[in-house]
Chain A
């Protein structure tokens, strides 16, 4: 069966989605990711969707799920590289993916993850209240 590879980089997990997603594939990714978060005790998940040309409500939900599930396992999720057309479509669809952190590219996404994690270590305050949605 098709699977999207998940790379482990230190405390982070890195996923680059290079193929067109269908529902089953997205669901597999969701369960694989949470398994990996637990296995490696990861602190951050970075999902690169720069090659994804379509995100509909199902895949939007999966992204939200991953973010929330990781959060309760104490890992931050950042989605990076969303294409402009995809962003406009998601907003028009009525799915602005609130509560998911986004960054322009992998580099910025890594910075964001690092800043969130060091912040967590410095003080256990909630970084952003909107995260908990």
Chain B
């Protein structure tokens, strides 16, 4: 026996679209500030068309069927674009749920036998529920993408490598230094050493709130990697509290050149590349 519901959906898709669109309007799901009426209509029509095209007797009960991939794509696309545009979850969820209402309404108008109506409605229900779960999952994924991108941006911003002199780089570290951050610091620093041909890197930790064995280990790793590149590394900005913790924790920094301030680190660096800073007025030689 041919499935009633499938037949109806295929035959009545225009009517369903009208119903659905009506529902969307009533649900306040239409945010004209975020999406135009016209766009929303095109989106909805595309979805209905591919839904009507892909649904068949065989896949009706199986939402995982490959036939629905196109619909899943459209739904994911809609959900992601909505997440990024700033729709609320309710508004996004209502999009699919209002389609369900439209489908159920159409079925109830077309099918007269209550038993058939009930079974078909249940099936439509479970299929559409699965679709709305997809929407929700992708909606959250879209939001997570936004968060991830921001995280990336923050890490990018917070590890600048500054060329302070020909052959001298400075890297002010602000915030805690965990292993993924160290990775980024090292990559940026070593890359910059190659690009600028620098021979000295100053790691300023004035902005690091606290130091523990792990952070110290990360610092030592960075120093070792810098040396492997053929550059020397100076750690500056050692505050008294940090000096105290370093000693109390028994961290060995004796292999590393450490300075209290960035200024004295720079002075040391000048010395290492045999430069001298002099006051102009006093040098009357020239």
A interface residues (Cβ-Cβ under 8 A, vs B): 80, 82, 84, 86-88, 90-92, 96-97, 102-105, 108-109, 112, 130
Contact = CB atoms under 8 A, between A and B. Distances in A.
Contacts of A130: 255
Interface in B209-234: 221, 224-231
Interface of B: 183, 186-187, 190-191, 193-194, 197, 199, 221, 224-231, 255
Contacts of A92: 221
Nearest to A101: B230
Given A104-B199, A108-B199, A88 B190 contact: yes
Contacts of A91: 186, 221, 224-225, 228
A109 B224 CA distance: 18
30 contacts: A80-B230, A82-B228, A82-B229, A82-B230, A84-B186, A84-B191, A84-B225, A84-B229, A86-B228, A87-B225, A87-B226, A88-B187, A90-B228, A91-B221, A96-B225, A96-B227, A96-B228, A97-B228, A102-B227, A102-B228, A102-B229, A103-B230, A104-B194, A104-B197, A104-B199, A105-B197, A105-B230, A108-B199, A112-B230, A130-B255
A105 B20 CA distance: 68
Contacts, number: 55
Contacts of A80: 230
Nearest to B191: A84
B228 A87 contact: yes
B230 A109 contact: yes
Nearest to B255: A130
Contacts of B190: 84, 87-88
Given A84-B191, A91-B221, 17 more contacts: A84-B187, A84-B194, A88-B186, A90-B225, A90-B228, A91-B225, A91-B228, A96-B227, A97-B228, A102-B229, A104-B193, A104-B194, A104-B199, A104-B230, A105-B230, A108-B230, A130-B255
